[in-house]
Chains A and B, each alone.
Chain A
Amino acid sequence: MAGELIPELHDIGKLINNNAINADIPGLGLAHHYFTGQDQTEIIDWSRWGMATPQTLTWLGIIGHNERLIGKGTQVSTPPSKLTQIGLPMGRDEMAQLLLLVMADHLAASTFRVVQQIGENEESSHGVNRSVTILWRSSREEPEAPLPIVDRRGLEDLLRWLAASPDAAAFFQKFQPWLSTVPEEKIVPRAVTSLATHCMLVGKFFKVLLDSFMLNTKKTHLVYCGESFVNYRDIEDKCLFRLARCKVTFPQRPSRTSDLGIFLKLQEIMRDVEKDDHVLLHTLDTLWVFLPVEDVLPLRTALKNFLDVGFHIEAQVAEAPLQELSSNIFEKPKEKVSNYYLQPEMPREFPPKLCELCQMRQALPEPVRDEKSGIEESLCETCKAFRELAKGRFTKLGGQWEEMDIPVAWVRVSLDYNRLHETLRRLYKGYLERCRELKKIEIPNQEIQVLVDNLRNTALMVDFTEDYGKLLNSFYARLKAELGEANIEEIAGERPELLVVALIKEGQALRIADIFIEEFSRLFPECEKDSPISLSISISNAKYPFFEHWQYLDKPADTISIQVVGRARLRLPITRFRRLRELKPEKASSKLHRAVAVGARTGSDLMEKLEFLDGLQRYQELHRARIQEGFSVGQLLSYHKIAAIGGQP
């Protein structure tokens, strides 16, 4: 059979408008995305309708991943007759791949997405959404997603295109506009995952499974870790796989601008691992990987690219049978989850000197000399290599900004997956309640809570991460447009999760936060009150050691956290920050300083308030911000200190 099985294409039938096609081809009776009639077992004989059937393994996957044809007990050695009868050559190798595709589809559809089926006739009791509901934007009514294949001609073109064995990239390129709006499952409780994400996940799972299983010599069993299995029921019940959520860290305490090459390397590896089928999602410093057990693929091997260049990895690894493995396994009893802290191989001892930057390796015999300052440092090969990588980069930060001694803002956007889990539960609950109000589902409160508790959210996390990527790009584009590209330094290469902005005018630090909030609210309006995404800004002169900033940036205190090193700290949720900006509290630094000082000296909130209220009639907005809106004197003082930063001293 021609071509390899391209798993991403398995649900291409969901892009067909069956009603429109049936109206254009009377008597066809196309009813399912498996290209079958109403009963789901009769595969349509396209030759009867003057169309040629693709003779490819991918086509077999499209029509064959049909649960009415391939059941949990179907064996490698007994392909269903409905499939063999249609004239596609189908050996055991092909059958094995088909079983793996069905399992990958199950993993992506049942195990890694929202909730299991409720009852037999869900469609009649729950109704359907023909457009994917994005939970973090769900207050907006999405119009019904159009489908690209609506007539005979479109169908003929599709079959011809499939006959040419297109690859996954061609599929995503051709159908992207529809894939991101069509839900993977249109029944209301589950219509929250896009077909694009589902197809991508199936592709990744299939390839991991294909690498992990092999056929025995007689081609009757699939073998995993030395054990043989004949059907996928046994595999899903008994075969252990792992889901690992990993945070990449580094031992260096970068001080020089050139040490920021660490982030260039990190971004480079993250970009490369994106193509790795084990990696389900990632940000600049976090990744989730799906893996077979240690015996088949050790964790160290899977994360080798990071460890080889000296990164450390904190990993939580859940190990469970395929059918139990889901992102919420991390929230379940801890027995199934192990913690690891992976580091590169380390010798038991070595003679001095120790690398000054990472303190993890022996320094090179020759110290590294900084031409500008003449300072010599003992560095290991790895840290030296990071510096080499940064040569010719960060020229503004390490050059003119240092010389001009203007304040710079380190800007970090980050996504916290622990918080995202809770956020998705809250959003999903809200979605179900809204659907109930709109009479799209009939479901009691108790059952809503059951659905929320059983929410399986990996696919949602993938979708969320994709939108997070869009936020980063739009935020960065706006910053460049408003503050000028010349005033921004990219630290993490193509990923604008870490930037430095030269604050050439007063008020720019707060403007950065404004821009972030505007873009955030466009993409994540439902997360304003409780956001797993945060913006941290740390301000100092350009020479201040980066690591001191990083300690603040890497552990955001709130959705919006801003500090001027040694002078001011402000942390607020988005709604409160926006309110403070709207109020435009008048600047009254000496009054605020006095009130803070009295509060600190007396330890009394009342005394602080009295001092604050004295002569306040001149500052109406400041008064409102403190008394009516509840902003503390400390917050108001920090706000003004941050607003006043900018320009040359």
Chain B
Amino acid sequence: MSFWEYDLRAENLHIGERIKKGTFRPLVPAINVGGAEYRPIPYSTAAGALREFLGLSWDTPVHAAGYLTQDNLESLVIAPRDNVTGVSKLPITIQYLSQAQGKLFVLVNDNTQGLPDHLEMVMGGLRYKGFGLCDLTRVGTQPCEPEPTKAKGKLLTRIPEDVLPMFGIDAKGVERDGPHRWGYLFKPTSATGGVYVKSLFEESEVKAYSFIIGDKT
């Protein structure tokens, strides 16, 4: 199993949570691990964006996840219009990130082995406002092979339960109660629909490939 490692840069990026109170859309929160700040790029966001970039269908296996290491938190107010009536709804305050930098790791398989060393793809929300254009530069010419001995530390991203092994996480190891944070990510089950699947969230203490964990022991 090997991964492409990409350096990610984006002028404006929105990786958000559900809208609150109908008027406020926050970002995925940042976490502090070992004194450094990280913000997860969830598997669902990264894999979805890559599939779209590669022109693949919803069920094509693409596995990717990452995190941001630098960003500026900003917000803007928009007043979207109702598509039917054309009337503006209540203004929504949206948080976004400017000057974001981070890492994205893509599992090398038949669908991703030909990924270029430099690519531009669109990721996250608010695309119609011009957000989400990400500049990805590959680190190295060869895919990185995770070391066989996994490291223990804090997960820096969000990964669905059923693909944990792809990132070196033993699904059985997170079955029992432990310092594991669970939540839900969206998983497409058709071109237009999907389900929410149980997923391991950032700050969970796991044994995994070292590139997706921080505060390693």
- Please list the residues of chain A having a beta carbon within 8 angstroms of any beta carbon in chain B: 251, 253, 255-256, 299-300, 312, 314, 338-343, 346-352, 354-357, 359-360, 362, 370, 373, 375-377, 545, 547
Q: Do A348 and B161 contact each other (CB < 8 Å), given the known contacts A339-B178, A375-B21?
A: yes
B16-44 vs A, CB cutoff 8 Å, 1 = contact: the mask equals 01111111101000000000000000000
Q: Do A340 and B22 contact each other (CB < 8 Å), given the known contacts A359-B183, A360-B184?
A: no
**Can you give 27 contacting A-B residue pairs, CB < 8 Å?**
A253-B20, A255-B20, A255-B23, A255-B24, A256-B21, A299-B177, A338-B178, A339-B205, A340-B177, A341-B179, A341-B204, A343-B181, A349-B196, A352-B193, A352-B195, A354-B184, A354-B186, A356-B19, A357-B20, A360-B183, A373-B22, A375-B22, A375-B90, A545-B21, A545-B24, A547-B20, A547-B26
Q: Do A350 and B178 contact each other (CB < 8 Å), given the known contacts A253-B20, A356-B19, A377-B22?
A: no
User: Residues of B contacting A352 with CB < 8 Å?
Assistant: 193-196
B84-104 vs A, CB cutoff 8 Å, 1 = contact: the mask equals 000000100000000000000
Whether B18 lies near A375 (C-beta < 8 A) is: no
Whether B195 lies near A351 (C-beta < 8 A) is: yes
Task: In the A-B complex, list the 6 residue pairs whose CB atoms are closest, starting with the nearest.
Answer: A375-B22, A255-B21, A255-B20, A339-B179, A356-B18, A349-B197
Q: Do A359 and B18 contact each other (CB < 8 Å), given the known contacts A349-B187, A352-B196, A545-B24?
A: yes
User: Residues of B contacting A347 with CB < 8 Å?
Assistant: 198
- Please list the residues of chain B having a beta carbon within 8 angstroms of any beta carbon in chain A: 17-24, 26, 90, 161, 177-184, 186-187, 193-198, 204-205
User: Residues of A contacting B197 with CB < 8 Å?
Assistant: 348-349
Whether B178 lies near A341 (C-beta < 8 A) is: yes
A532 vs B197: C-alpha distance when bound (angstroms): 40
Chain B min CB distance to A374 (Å):
9
Instruction: Name the contact of A346 in the complex, choosing from B19, B182, B194, B205 (C-beta under 8 A).
Output: B182
A351 vs B182: C-alpha distance when bound (angstroms): 17
Whether B18 lies near A346 (C-beta < 8 A) is: no
A640 vs B183: C-alpha distance when bound (angstroms): 43
- Closest residue of chain B to A361, judged by CB? B184
Extra contacts besides A312-B181, A545-B24 (18): CB < 8 Å:
A255-B23, A339-B205, A340-B179, A341-B177, A341-B181, A349-B197, A349-B198, A350-B196, A351-B195, A352-B193, A352-B195, A356-B19, A359-B183, A360-B183, A373-B90, A375-B21, A375-B23, A377-B21
Whether A253 lies near B26 (C-beta < 8 A) is: yes
Instruction: Name the contact of A359 in the complex, choosing from B22, B180, B181, B184 (C-beta under 8 A).
Output: B184
- Closest residue of chain B to A316, judged by CB? B179
User: Residues of A contacting B21 with CB < 8 Å?
Assistant: 255-256, 375, 377, 545
Whether B20 lies near A354 (C-beta < 8 A) is: no
A235 vs B187: C-alpha distance when bound (angstroms): 52
User: Residues of B contacting A341 with CB < 8 Å?
Assistant: 177-181, 204
User: Residues of A contacting B196 with CB < 8 Å?
Assistant: 349-352, 354, 362
Chain B min CB distance to A356 (Å):
4
Chain B min CB distance to A216 (Å):
31
User: Residues of B contacting A300 with CB < 8 Å?
Assistant: 177
A338 vs B187: C-alpha distance when bound (angstroms): 32
Whether B187 lies near A356 (C-beta < 8 A) is: no
User: Residues of B contacting A373 with CB < 8 Å?
Assistant: 22, 90
User: Residues of A contacting B205 with CB < 8 Å?
Assistant: 339
A362 vs B195: C-alpha distance when bound (angstroms): 10
Taking each of A370, A375, A376, which has the highest tally of chain B beta carbons within 10 Å of its own beta carbon? A375
A343 vs B181: C-alpha distance when bound (angstroms): 8
User: Residues of B contacting A354 with CB < 8 Å?
Assistant: 18, 184, 186, 196
A346 vs B177: C-alpha distance when bound (angstroms): 12
A362 vs B205: C-alpha distance when bound (angstroms): 26
Whether A545 lies near B20 (C-beta < 8 A) is: yes
Instruction: Name the contact of A376 in the complex, choosing from B22, B161, B179, B186 (C-beta under 8 A).
Output: B22
- Closest residue of chain A to B178, judged by CB? A340
User: Residues of A contacting B187 with CB < 8 Å?
Assistant: 349
User: Residues of B contacting A342 with CB < 8 Å?
Assistant: 177
User: Residues of A contacting B193 with CB < 8 Å?
Assistant: 352
A141 vs B35: C-alpha distance when bound (angstroms): 44
Taking each of A251, A255, A300, A341, which has the highest tally of chain B beta carbons within 10 Å of its own beta carbon? A341
A356 vs B179: C-alpha distance when bound (angstroms): 25
Chain B min CB distance to A319 (Å):
14
User: Residues of A contacting B20 with CB < 8 Å?
Assistant: 253, 255, 356-357, 545, 547
User: Residues of B contacting A253 with CB < 8 Å?
Assistant: 17, 20, 26
- Closest residue of chain A to B93, judged by CB? A545
Taking each of B90, B177, B182, B194, which has the highest tally of chain A beta carbons within 10 Å of its own beta carbon? B177
A377 vs B179: C-alpha distance when bound (angstroms): 31
Whether A346 lies near B198 (C-beta < 8 A) is: yes
User: Residues of B contacting A251 with CB < 8 Å?
Assistant: 183
Q: Do A343 and B182 contact each other (CB < 8 Å), given the known contacts A348-B197, A352-B196?
A: yes
User: Residues of A contacting B198 with CB < 8 Å?
Assistant: 346-349
Chain A min CB distance to B26 (Å):
6
User: Residues of A contacting B161 with CB < 8 Å?
Assistant: 348
A644 vs B179: C-alpha distance when bound (angstroms): 44
User: Residues of B contacting A355 with CB < 8 Å?
Assistant: 18
User: Residues of B contacting A349 with CB < 8 Å?
Assistant: 187, 195-198
Taking each of B24, B26, B179, B196, which has the highest tally of chain A beta carbons within 10 Å of its own beta carbon? B196
Whether B195 lies near A350 (C-beta < 8 A) is: yes
Chain B min CB distance to A510 (Å):
28
A16 vs B191: C-alpha distance when bound (angstroms): 81
User: Residues of A contacting B177 with CB < 8 Å?
Assistant: 299-300, 340-342
A352 vs B194: C-alpha distance when bound (angstroms): 7
A347 vs B26: C-alpha distance when bound (angstroms): 25
User: Residues of A contacting B22 with CB < 8 Å?
Assistant: 370, 373, 375-377
- Closest residue of chain A to B187, judged by CB? A349
User: Residues of A contacting B184 with CB < 8 Å?
Assistant: 350, 354, 359-360
- Closest residue of chain B to A339, judged by CB? B179
User: Residues of B contacting A255 with CB < 8 Å?
Assistant: 20-21, 23-24
Chain B min CB distance to A357 (Å):
7
Chain B min CB distance to A333 (Å):
14
A315 vs B177: C-alpha distance when bound (angstroms): 11
A253 vs B19: C-alpha distance when bound (angstroms): 10
Q: Do A359 and B195 contact each other (CB < 8 Å), given the known contacts A341-B180, A377-B22?
A: no
User: Residues of B contacting A375 with CB < 8 Å?
Assistant: 21-23, 90
A466 vs B141: C-alpha distance when bound (angstroms): 62
Chain B min CB distance to A348 (Å):
5
Chain B min CB distance to A366 (Å):
16
A206 vs B142: C-alpha distance when bound (angstroms): 64
User: Residues of A contacting B178 with CB < 8 Å?
Assistant: 338-341
